[in-house]
Structure 1
């Protein structure tokens, strides 16, 4: 299902988080539109400015930017862990900013899952007890807690370690416990704030693979924060790039690389391995000009997944849609040019 056909699960409009005295009065006076100069003159900090996004049901929506860009503050505003200064936030069509404290607690307990960079496991509880903890807070009967917690422990690959304590686990295993705990309440939306950034590179890649495996099974709506573009392009359906509290561009990874909206986005994506981002469709020529194709690939297949095969074959591959119908063909030379580092705009037919 395309994004256009997916229901919007979470959205915000003209969202601001301004730090400093009388920030709410300042934003009201400026009617939700203040310049950087006006903020500086008032000695206020615009951590999030003019943010508007739609997160569709079942997608991984990644917010990224450099340190201090406002990405984690945006996530906390979307979940109301901190109060926005101005703007709108809707969850399932409901104005989240009008929810009472009691209503918000219930929403967080039953509909939102959260995983942060620091695992925050309770050291005196076992793996199973840590995973069951949010269910105990909900007042779920003990037998149901245990059954659900065991299922989540199995889901994240920790079967056999149910009775271990956090100190007895590796960093990657501890993060799996955090993921299992957040999933125990069966959340409708999952907020992940740089969950893998404290892990070693090999473990980090393993956890990225684990997240993709879980997503294939669970189809969660995910808002994921990272500063790592390689991580973003591996996981994301769409990416929002932030700078100085503002969202500069939103799009699929391939779109950001091929059509950067600003020089900042172009620079941000300049060193990206394009073979990981670009699809067969982006390099193909439409129609069929060769009688023989050495193989075929789906239009959405990334270049890196078949580059070695097409170069070795020294013959074009057919490019097909999800039904197997021919869309066009891709030549070995186009792939070689991409791997050699020619600019994206030169690669498009």
Structure 2
């Protein structure tokens, strides 16, 4: 998305001219009767990531979302979507191409479910495939697979009004996944649900994302939800993107007072990963090929020429290396080696169960740093 202006009203040209002069949304509306939905929005959403658009009501987040599939007309700028291996600007493409994008590349999950009440669960999930002209046998195979994925296979032949709100939202997810679209647009899909159901569906979405690796643009007004789901978050205010970055970027380095106000009451354990608090490898003391992990030098980690941990010693005795994954699961015996993006909450749990600091490695298995009680306390205290 490049320099996207969206304006609602008739005198758009005059409104854009005032926008270029730096006039506010309220002044532009007063002088032209045009509402500026967005001002020069720039977003680069990477394949396979969840990008969360968040802000207060009226900030422009849903306006941006609906520009991605052409539901909102763009007054100026470009919205590029990778479709059938090629970039397509949905603001300028032919109507047949835009229809093909909507049928095959971009799918949408709505806040109020968007289900067809006169159809069964099965027929709702298969609706996009039906529009695409997929034969019934293949359509049923895909629908059964996606309903099993969201835990609703036993409800396939029920009418949607027989389902609870959370189950209906799962139907919406299954319908979006059934099209096998590369990009999912989700407009506050969980906001109308009870907190416990909402939290469960967030977990379900993350689990499905680990399996399917879709590109997801997710609208939310809830910071906790954004921090839980988002690989990157765009904070919007008055039609502007005021900050775009990782959860830890936004929490640790808010761009302005508006963002700082958003994050000041959040729990740092919801967003920090271990890389946010660890002592980096470059700052650790060395003794030959050994890295000293404590002040006395009694806990040592030996690394190879590529900086990958190979063995450990504690007070001169060999110590096994235990390896855990990004959730903290695995072999936690001995000196624990973990990925650098391990959530801080998981790191604290591991450190409580181990007498030694935790060693962190990057995605190539090279030493990235360590985390001990000092790093944990310092990381928690640095949050304002």
Partner of residue 292, structure 1 = 299
CA contact (8 A) 1:280 1:297 kept: no
Matched, 1:120 2:114: yes
SS in 2 for 1:190: strand
* Alpha-carbon distance, 1:147 to partner: 1.4
Aligned to 2:11: 22
2:38 and 2:19 map into 1 onto residues whose CA distance is 16
Tell me if the contact between 1:20 and 1:44 (Cα under 8 Å) persists in the aligned partners. Answer: yes
Q: 2:69 is matched with which residue? A: 79
Q: Does 1:327 align with 2:368?
A: yes
**1:234 is aligned to 2:190:** no
> For residue 6 of structure 1, what is the aligned residue in structure 2?
none
Asked if 1:98 corresponds to 2:92, the answer is: yes
Per-residue CA deviation, residues 26-75 of structure 1 (Å, 9 max, x unaligned), is 25645866521445432322121110111111111111111111100111
1:88 to 53, 75, 78: 78
Query: Which stretches in structure 1 are left out of the alignment for 5+ residues?
Result: 1-11
Maintained 8 Å contact 1:32/1:86: no
Q: TM-score, normalised by structure 2?
A: 0.81
RMSD of aligned alpha carbons = 2.0
Secondary structure of the structure 1 residue equivalent to 2:153: coil
Q: Deviations over 1:92-138 (max 9, x none)?
A: 22221112223212210111110011012111211111111122222
Name the count of aligned residue pairs: 331
Which secondary structure does the structure 2 equivalent of 1:63 belong to? strand
SS of the residue corresponding to residue 212 of structure 1 reads helix
Cα 1:126–1:332 change in 2 (3 A) is: same
Moved more, 285-294 or 143-152: 285-294
Q: Is the 8 A contact 1:311 1:335 kept in 2?
A: no
Measured at CA, do residues 136 and 289 of structure 1 come closer, stay the same or move farther in structure 2, by a change above 3 Å? closer
What are the equivalent positions in structure 2 for 1:150-189 lying under 5 Å apart? 150-189=144-183
Distance in 2, matches of 1:170 and 1:78, equals 30
- Aligned mate of 1:198, from 179, 192, 195: 192
Q: Verify the 8 A CA contact 2:15 2:28 in the aligned structure 1.
A: no
- Corresponding position of 2:326: none
Who wins on radius of gyration, i.e. which is larger?
Answer: 2
Q: Taking structure 1 as reference, are residues 309 and 107 closer, same or farther at Cα in structure 2, changes over 3 Å only?
A: closer
Deviations 1:234-290 (A, max 9, x none): 111111000011000100001111111111111111112112211212212232442
Alignment of 1:232-311 (within 5 A): 232-286=226-280, 287=284, 288-290=292-294, 291-292=298-299, 295-311=336-352
**Which structure's residues are more often helix, by fraction?**
1
CA distance in 1, matches of 2:245, 2:167: 32
Asked if structure 1 preserves the Cα contact closer than 8 Å seen for 2:293 and 2:357, the reply is no
8 Å CA contact 1:117–1:196 kept in 2: the answer is yes
Indicate the larger mover: 133-142 or 231-240.
Answer: 133-142
